[in-house]
Structure 1
């Protein structure tokens, strides 16, 4: 792996983690206690899709 690929991976990882953490914070504020609740599942899906989109855009 070269520096560009490592940088791209780290950027995508940070974006994914930020999205998931924001949604988890919102879920906690709304009182969702289940780890498989709808907001937390949506956060993983939204984070994955956003990370994939960013990965494809910066890998060109």
Structure 2
């Protein structure tokens, strides 16, 4: 069973986008670019709060 977890190998900030990319089987760079575009196109503060929340909730991949 696959579980969503933060990446410890391919992280830039905290590994959230890399973990999401690994979970869905897509390149983490695409997830990072999509997150930046979504953040700039909508509201910056709610997206950053969501990222911080995901960082807090998601386990690291070596803890799963």
**TM-score of the two chains, using structure 2 as the length reference:** 0.39
Choose between structure 1 and 2 for higher RCO, CA contacts under 8 A separated by at least 6 residues: 1
Which structure would you say has the larger Rg? 1
